Amino acid sequence: MDVNMLQNILLTIATASTPLLLAAIGELVVERSGVLNLGVEGMMVIGAVCGFAGAFITGSPWIGALAGILAGVLLSLLFGFLALSLATNQVATGLSLTLLGIGLSGMIGEDFVGRAGIRLPRLDLPVLSDLPLVGKLLFGQDPLFYVSIALTAAVMWFLFKTRTGLTLRSIGDNHKSAHALGINVLLYRYLAVMFGGACAGLAGAHLSLVYTPQWVENMTAGRGWIALALVVFASWRPWRVIGGAYLFGAVTIGQIHAQALGIPIPSQLMSALPYLATIVVLVLISRDRRLTVINTPASLAQPFVPDR
Amino acid sequence: MQDRGNDALLLETRGLTKVFGELKACNEVDLKIAPGEIHALLGENGAGKSTLVKMLFGVLDPTEGGIYWKGEPVRIGSPGEARRHGIGMVFQHFSLFEALTASENIALVFDEKTPISQIAERARAVSVEYGLPLDPHAMVGDLSVGERQRIEIIRCLLQKPDLIILDEPTSVLTPQEANRMFDTLERLKAEGTSILYISHRLDEVKRLCDTATVLRHGKVVAHCDPRQETATTLANLMVGSDVEAVKRQASAATPGPPLIEISNLERPPATPFSIPLRGIDLTVRGGELLGIAGVAGNGQGEFFEAVSGEWRQERADTIRLNGRNCGHKNISDRRMVGAAFVPEERLGHGAAPALPLSDNLLLSRHTTDRRAMVGPLGFVRMGAVKEATQRIIREMDVRKSGEDPEAAALSGGNLQKFLIGRELDREPMVLVVDQPTWGVDAGAAARIRKALIDLARAGSAVLVISQDLDELFEISDAIAVMHDGRLSSPLPIAEASFEKIGLLMGGAEPGHQAHAHAEAHANTEGSHEPGAPI
C-alpha cells in the first residue's frame, strides 16, 4: 500500500466521520441540558434535502449549507415547542420527529432526485496542501471537516470552562434545583435544542453537499441513530465523541474496502458493528457506576413544568 | 395598594394569599420581620410555611397581597430578584447538583465575572470564619446531608444577604451539628442579619428565636415571643387542640423469644451515592420495641430494604424472622412467616397513588390472606377486601373523602395511618417501620405511636427506624444508632440520653470514624431531658 492510497483511505474516513461528529456533538449539548431528542435522524435528513435544494436553486453550496442548518433548527423548534413548552414525552416526540423528517424530506426532494449536485469546494492552499502524506489530510479537506473539529473544541470549552456551560450542566443534573436558583430552565433547553438542530441540519447538508453531492431519498441511512448511540458511547464527553465518530467512520469505510478486496465478511455484520460497539462500551462504562452517574445527565428526558 | 410599608421593618407581608386550585395554602398572611432578629415560622406540615417562604423567595407568585422590603412595595418575580434585594434561602430539600463540585454549586448563583477559583477561595474563607468545614472541590454526590447543608449555607452567606430563610435546617443534623449551626446563626444575628427560621422543633425555637409567627391551615393564628411560651402552649397553637402525650408502659418483665435475628448483615453500596451496610448484628425479642436512630442517609434505607426482602441476602440465616431463616426470601415470603413492613415513602412505595385504598390493601395482602381475599379460579373477593378496608379505616380513624378514595387523595397523616393499619390488621409477629410519622400531623402521629406500642405489648417484635429522637425516646424500649452503615448495640431506654444518642449519631463509638467529637461534646450544653413530648 503506497502513501497516496493510505492518505486517500484516511481522507474518506474523515469524510465519513464528519457528519457523525457534527450530529453527535449537537445532540451531546442537548442531552447535557437534560433533553433527549431522538429526532436527530429526521433533522439530518431534512438538512440533507434542504442543503441540496438550497445549493441547487441558488448555485451556491454555501447557501445550501445554511439552508440545511436553518431546516434543522426549524424542525428542532417544533420538537422544542412540543417537548419543552407542552412537556410532552420526549421519547415519543423525538421518534415522531424522525418519522416526520423522513416523510417531509421525501416530499421536498421529489424534484431533486437524480439531479447533479454541487460540491462544497475542498480547501486548497498552495504548497501546504501538496505536502506528502499530511498535506491533504491537514490542509485539503472539505470546510465542514474543520468546522466539526472546531465545534467540538468549542463545545468542550463552553461546557467545562464557562459559567453558561456550568449552568447548562446543572440543568441537566437537576432541573428543579436549577429552577429554585432562578435559572431559566426552558430558555437554556430551547437554545440547546436549537443548537442540536443546527448541528444535525449541517450534518445532513454534509451528506448531500460533500459526501455524495446528490439527493437520494433516505440518504442519511441511519446515521442519526449512530450519532445518538455515539453520545452514550462517549458517556457525554465531547472529546470521546471525536474518538467514537472516527471509529465508526473507519468501520464504515473498512466495510467498503473489505468488500472490494473480497474479504468474506457479510456487509450486514459490518453495518451492525457501530451498534454492537455501543453495547460493549455501555457494558464497560457501567462497571464504574460512580463515573456513569456523574457523567449521565440525571434529569435526562424528564419533562420540566415550572410551578408558579 | 402601592402605599409604603413600615420603614422600621426589614420585611413585611400584608394579606399574602396563595391559592392552588381549591386550596388556600396561604390565607391573608401578615408577617413582620425586624432587622437583626431571628424570627420563627411555626406550623404543622401543610400549614403553609413552605408556600409562604417560596413566595418571599420568588419561587411562587402570590395570588393576592403585598410584600414590602425595607418599606418599599416589591414584586419578587424570581429567586434571582430575591437575591438582588438581599434575601437568601437554604432549602429543606437542597437545591444542590450532585454531579457538580461544591464550588461549582456555589458559583452557579454568582455572575459570570468571578472565576470559580476565586469563588472557591472565598467559600473556604467563609467556611473557616463561621466554623463550617468544607472542601470546595468535593463532588456533592459524595457528601453527607450535613455537609451538603453547609454548602447551601455558605452559598447563602457569600451573597451577604440581609435576610436568610432557613427551611427546617436541623432535620438532617445530629444534635451536635445543630448546636454548631445555632452558634453560626447567633453570630449572624449579632452582625445585623435577620433570619426567618422554619421549624417544628419547639425547643430549638424557644432557645434561638426572638419572635414567632404561628400558621395553621394557611392562616396566621398567633404572633408571640417564644421565650414567654412553653413548648406545650406553642404546640397547642400549632395544632389548635390539646395534644395528648403517649404514655409508654413498662415492657413485660420477661421478654419473649427472639423474633428478629440479624447476624453480620453486609451489603455493598447499591449506587455510587448510597451507603454500604457493614456487619450489622441485631436481635429484637417478642414484646420489645426497638428504635433505630441516625442522621438521614447513614444506611437506614438500605437496612430497611435488606430486612423487608426488597434486597435479598446471600445466606439464608443472615436474617431470621419469627424463628425462620429469611435471608433468601422475597417480600411476600417474608410476609408469609408473619412479618410486616411499612416503608418510608408513602406514595409510590407504600401505596400506588392512583389506586383506591381497597386495591392497595389487596396488593400487599393477596398472598398472606389468599384464603380470605381470593376465591376459586383466582377471582378476587372484592366484598371481603372492601370489608377489611373499612375495618382498617375504622380501627385507625382514617379521615377521608368518599367511601374508597385513591391513595393520593388522602393527606400524608391519614394515608400513613391506613398503611400502618393495613399491616397491624394482620396481627404480625414482626413489624418493621421506616419513619412512621414523617410529615404526619401531631394527632395522627400520636395515634400511630400508640398503635406501635400496643402491638409490642401484645407480644410482637417492633423495629422502628426514625430520625425523630423525641419520638424514639417516647416509644422505644431500647435505641440503637445507625452511622455510616454500622449499627451500635442497643441502649436500654433507662440508660439513653439525648447526649449519648447524639454522640453515637455523629459516629462516636469504638471502631467508628471520629470527627472532632471532643469539640462537639464541649458545645453540647448539658443533656436534654429526653421524652418531653410536644
**B295-304: pLDDT as tens digits:** 777 888 899 9
- CB atoms A170 and B108 under 8 Å: yes
Q: Does A177 touch chain B (CB under 8 A)?
A: yes
B91 CB within 8 Å of a chain A CB = yes
What 3-state DSSP class applies to B167? strand
pLDDT digits 0-9 by tens, B201-253: 777 888 899 999 998 888 899 899 988 888 778 877 877 665 555 556 666 56
- Give, in words, the CATH class of A3-295: mainly alpha
pLDDT tens per residue, range B34-71: 999 999 998 876 678 888 998 999 888 899 999 999 98
Please report the beta strands in B149-203, taking only residues with DSSP state E, as ranges in sequence order.
163-167, 194-198
For position B244, what pLDDT does the model report? 56
| B132/chain A closest Cα distance in angstroms | 22
Tens-place pLDDT, residues B25-35: 888 999 999 99
Q: What is the pLDDT of residue A157?
A: 96
Given A176, A290, A307, which is nearest B272 (Cβ)? Answer: A290
pLDDT at B48: 83
- Asked if A166's CB is within 8 angstroms of B99's CB, the reply is no
CB contacts under 8 A, B 308-337 vs A, are none
How far is B219 from chain A, CA to nearest CA, in Å?
A: 20
Which residues neighbour A70 within 8 Å (Cβ) at sequence distance 6 or greater?
A50, A201
Q: Count of CB contacts below 8 A, A vs B?
A: 74
Please report, for residues A220, A223, A234, A279, B300, the alpha-carbon distance to residue A41 in angstroms, rounded to integers and kept in the order given. 7, 7, 19, 20, 46
Q: Please report residues of B whose CB lies closer than 8 A to that of A183.
A: 108
B92 touches chain A (CB under 8 A): no
Tell me what the pLDDT averaged over chain B comes to.
84
B514 — pLDDT class (breaks 50, 70, 90): very low
**Residue of chain B minimizing CA distance to A167:** B108
Of B95, B271, B273, the CB nearest to A181: B95
pLDDT of residue B532: 39
Which is nearest to B215 in space by CA: B240, B196, B194, B195? B240
Contacts of B94 in chain A (CB under 8 A): 177
pLDDT tens-digit series, residues A232-291: 888 899 999 999 999 888 888 887 787 788 777 787 787 777 778 777 877 776 777 666
Residue of A nearest to B274 (CA): A290
| pLDDT band of B1, cuts 50, 70, 90 | very low
The pLDDT value recorded for residue B439 is 67
Task: Please state whether beta strands B64-69 and B11-20 pair in parallel, antiparallel, or not at all (unpaired).
Answer: antiparallel
Taking an 8 Å cut-off on Cβ atoms, the answer to whether A177 and B100 are in contact is: no
Equal CATH topology for B11-239 and B258-523: yes
At B287 the pLDDT is: 92
For B273, the closest chain A residue by CA position comes to A290
CA separation (Å) from B401 to A135, A305, B422, B439? 79, 28, 18, 20
Query: A176 touching B, CB under 8 A?
Result: yes
What average pLDDT score do residues B139-155 get? 82
Please, which residues 271-300 of chain A have a Cβ atom closer than 8 Å to chain B?
Answer: 289-290, 293-295, 298
Q: What is the Cα–Cα distance from B220 to B238, expressed in whole angstroms?
A: 10
Residue B369 predicted with pLDDT over 60: yes
- Distance between CA atoms of B15 and A284, rounded to whole angstroms? 59
Contact A166 B107 (CB under 8 A): yes
Which pLDDT belongs to residue B519? 38
Q: Does B83 touch chain A (CB under 8 A)?
A: yes
CB within 8 A of B130, min separation 6: which ones?
A: B153, B154, B157, B184, B187
Domain B258-523 in CATH 3.40.50.2000? The answer is no
Please state the rounded mean pLDDT for residues B250-264: 82
B470 band by pLDDT with thresholds 50, 70 and 90: confident
More confident residue, B279 or B354: B279
d(CA B256, CA B273): 39
Best B78, B97, B119, B159 member to test A by mutation, with max A CBs in 10 Å, is B97
Chain B residue numbers touching A187 (CB-CB < 8 A): none
Q: Which of B51, B59, B87, B109 to mutate: most A Cβ within 10 Å? A: B59
Torsion angles phi and psi, residue B63, rounded to 5: -75, -40
Model pLDDT for residues B297-338, shown as the tens digit of each residue: 788 889 999 999 999 998 999 999 999 999 999 999 999 999
How many angstroms separate the CA atoms of B353 and B347, rounded?
6
Does the beta-carbon distance from B97 to A182 stay under 8 Å?
A: no
Mean pLDDT calculated for residue range B102-127: 86
> Vertex A217, ends A216 and A220: CA angle to 5°?
85
Cβ-defined contact of A174 to B80 (cutoff 8 Å)? no
What pLDDT, on the 0 to 100 scale, is given for residue A110?
92
| Mean pLDDT, residues B523-534 | 40
Q: Which among B79, B139, B273 has CB closest to A182? A: B79
* B92-100: average pLDDT: 79
**Domain locations along chain B:** 11-239, 258-523
Q: Tens of pLDDT along B234-244?
A: 877 877 665 55
Specify the range with the lowest mean pLDDT, choosing from A141-150, A221-230, B189-198, B493-502: B493-502
Higher pLDDT, B463 or B348: B463
CB-CB: which of A178, A182, A293 is closest to B141? A293
Chain A within 8 Å of B96 (Cβ-Cβ)? yes
Give the pLDDT score at A220.
92
* In the predicted structure, residue A67 carries a pLDDT above the cut 70: yes
For residue B79, list chain A residues with Cβ-Cβ distance below 8 A: 180-182
Q: Any idea which architecture B11-239 has in CATH? A: 3-Layer(aba) Sandwich (3.40)
The residue-averaged pLDDT of B381-401 equals 88
